[in-house]
Amino acid sequence: MIKLLGAALLIGGTSACGISGAMRLRRRARVLAELVRALAAMRGELVTRLAPVPELIERAERQSAGPVGAFFRNVRLRLGELGDTALYELWSGAVGATPELMLTEEEAAVLREAPRALGRYDLAEQRDALLRAERRFEEFVRRADAKRDAEFKTRALLGAAAGVFVALLLL
């Protein structure tokens, strides 16, 4: 009886690990899509209202959920250093301080570059910089969705299969 209970726990544990990996793929795709929405909203606010950068960041924080909201909160908290430090450096620090975004190096690099023009150049260049970042993140969302679709079931089933395999070896 104890062996069967141990085998069931082993299978349950490895299944949970597999499902957790599969859910991470789903969460990552949602975070990237939320970043696209936030960048688009920032661009819209900049173009229609000519909102200053601190207001753009505060609004993005209020309108964003989860990790994206945490990212903009990290940017906002660093805004007190603006002047001594450039906006893109503060923004870049916030990218590094928000691991819950689950960004790859390429994605993090694009996000770090997004604010380079904000507050520094004319409106068209600022808008274009945000639009470029938005379009790149739309591509990242497509890739994340494709990876999620391709690997979700595999990851979930692989965890259960590993547990069954180890349980059979131990019994």
What's residue 140's pLDDT? 95
Segment 43-82, tens digit of pLDDT? 998 888 888 888 989 999 999 989 999 999 999 999 888 7
The confidence band for 25, taking pLDDT boundaries of 50, 70 and 90, is confident
Residue-level pLDDT at 168? 77
Measuring CA to CA, which residue among 171, 166, 170, 169 is closest to residue 12? 166
Task: Give the pLDDT confidence score for residue 49 in this predicted structure.
Answer: 87
- For residue 74, the model assigns a pLDDT of 93
Measured CA to CA in angstroms, residue 45 lies from 38, 124, 129 at distances of 10, 13, 14
Q: 4: pLDDT confidence band, cut at 50, 70 and 90?
A: confident
**pLDDT per position as a tens digit, 101-112:** 999 999 999 999
pLDDT value at 171 more than 80: no
75 vs 17, residue with greater confidence: 75
Q: What is the 3-state secondary structure of the chain?
A: CHHHHHHHHHHHHHHHHHHHHHHHHHHHHHHHHHHHHHHHHHHHHHHHHCCCHHHHHHHHHHHCCHHHHHHHHHHHHHHHHECCECHHHHHHHHHHCCHHHCCCHHHHHHHHHCCCCCCCCCHHHHHHHHHHHHHHHHHHHHHHHHHHHHHHHHHHHHHHHHHHHHHHHHC
Distance CA 140, CA 144 (A): 6
Q: Which of 6-20, 38-52, 77-91, 96-110 has the highest mean pLDDT?
A: 96-110
pLDDT reported for residue 99: 94
Per-residue pLDDT tens over the stretch 119-137? 777 788 888 889 999 999 9
Q: What is the pLDDT of residue 68?
A: 96
C-alpha closest to that of 30 among 137, 158, 155: 137
Share of the chain above pLDDT 90, in %: 43
